[in-house]
Every structure is written in C-alpha cells, then in structure tokens.
Structure 1
Amino acid sequence: MIKIFISCGGGMSSSALVQKLRREAANQNLEDMVQFDFSPFSLAARDYSGYDIIMVCPHQRYRVKDYNDRFIKNEIPIYVLPTRIYGTMKLNTIIQDAEDIIEIFKSKPKNPVFFPGEEDPLKVMRIEPFNLKEYNAYSRKEKSH
C-alpha cells in the first residue's frame, strides 16, 4: 500500500481533494492499494509519520525547503504538485506520479523531488502521469546513440 499525505495552506483544498481521491479509490476498489490523508501545511510536520510521500499544493511551494530543513530532513520525498495536476486531481496521475517520485527519491534523497524538466511546478502543462519508465528508456536509448 502506498500512503500519500497531501498538504495545503489551511487544509481546505487538500481536504476536498483527498475526499475526491478517496471516493475514486473506493469506486475502483483500490482502498487496499492506496491511502490518502491531508493536513494544513503548518501542521504537517507532526502528521507525516508513516507516509510514503508528502504531496504539497502548488501555492505552498515556497515553504518546502524550509519545511524539509526543519522537520523532514530528507526522510521521505516531498513533491510539489504541478498546478494543472492539482486542479484536475486525477487518481491515476496522483498514484503513478507518487510511485515514480518515490523511486527518484530512493536514488537521490533530496527534497523537493521533481521530474526531469519540471523544476517549476507552475510551468508544468501535463495532466497525465509523467511516466518515468518511458522517460528512462528513452534517455538510455538516446545515450547509446
């Protein structure tokens, strides 16, 4: 099971989004595969224990470095959700991106974690999963030529 903790400024939007994701997970019979919880960003430092990843709403991106340095200390990945993904909050995108971000973090445990070319979450235009496996396969192919 992957445990995803979503955090925003006051907990209002993350609460609504987590409720949506939980409903979708239940409708797809995925409750045994994924768990979603939320908290306001200011309280997340004491609530993150036991989670595999923290996904932060884009409007809190400026707080992530300090938050990591003070509380998380690169123990688990922190991913700032791109604006469009946060807005659409598609279950398959959230789950796949979470799994891929966790994989990136295992090889380079430094927060915040982002996909190649997506260092600024406000400029990311995709709404589908990043697909790290395809990216890595393409990168290996390009390097061999």
Structure 2
Amino acid sequence: MEAKQIMLVCAAGMSTSLMVNKMQKAAEDRGLAARIFAVPVPEAAEYLANEQVDVLLLGPQVRYLLDDFKEKTAEKGIPVEVIPMTDYGMMKGDKVLDLAESLIG
C-alpha cells in the first residue's frame, strides 16, 4: 500500500512540527502508511507543484488562506481543510489524523 501524503501548511513551522510528530505517532499506532510533513506558506505552492499530496491541512493561524488553497488544489482534486483550533492547541495528533483520513476517503 502506498503511503498517504499529508501536507500541513503553517506560518513558521514550530508548533506544526510538533503536530507532525504527534500525527506520525498516531499513524504508526494504527499501522497506517503515511508521510506527514509541514511546510511554511511561502513554500507550499512549490510543494504542490512538485510533490504528490493526498490532503492538505492548514494550521489555524493561516485559516484565512483556505479559499486560496482550495483554488490552487482544485485542479488536482486535493482536499483542503483547516485543522480545528482545539485539536491543534491541544496537539491531538490522532484527531487531526482522523480529519486527514476522512478527507482522503
């Protein structure tokens, strides 16, 4: 089974890198093959152009970019959603992974 590519987009990357670690742990616990990575907003377009991405999750701090990213990903059919503030703030990697999986289908 090919690993799911889960991209998180954030402002700077500090807290989001913690979320990536929590999500990776949750994926390992579930036996889910996933590559979870975070990129800052300025690098996101390049990643989308050059990488296979199955789902894109925005950190709550960049939720204002949701419509922009939905436009950028529509052609490729990549689902985009904002990570809920409570799950992000409490670093609930399992809940954020649930969200990613539900969007991938």
Structure 1, unpaired ranges of 5+: 104-145
Cα shift readout 1:11-61 (whole Å, capped 9, x = no counterpart): 2221222133334544x273x522211100221111133121001011111
More strand per residue: 1 or 2?
2
1:4 paired residue among 3, 6, 26: 6
Code of the residue aligned with 1:100 in structure 2: it is S
Query: 1:93 and 1:29, CA in 2 relative to 1: closer, same or farther beyond 3 A?
Result: closer
Length-normalised TM-score, structure 1 = 0.58
Query: 1:96 and 1:17, CA in 2 relative to 1: closer, same or farther beyond 3 A?
Result: closer
Cα shift readout 1:51-88 (whole Å, capped 9, x = no counterpart): 2100101111111212333x323520111011001122
Structure 1 consecutive aligned stretches of length 4 or more whose deviation exceeds 6 Å:
none
1:83 aligns with 2:85: yes
Work out the CA distance in 2 between the residues paired with 1:72 and 1:19: 25
Work out the CA distance in 1 between the residues paired with 2:70 and 2:9: 13
The count of corresponding residues between Structure 1 and Structure 2 is: 100
Largest Rg, 1 or 2: 1
Q: What residue in structure 1 maps to residue 52 of structure 2? A: 50
Q: Secondary structure at the match of 1:51?
A: coil
Q: Percent sequence identity over matched residues?
A: 28
Length-normalised TM-score, structure 2 = 0.76
Q: What residue in structure 2 maps to residue 33 of structure 1? A: 33
Structure 2, unpaired ranges of 5+: none
Root-mean-square deviation (Å): 2.1
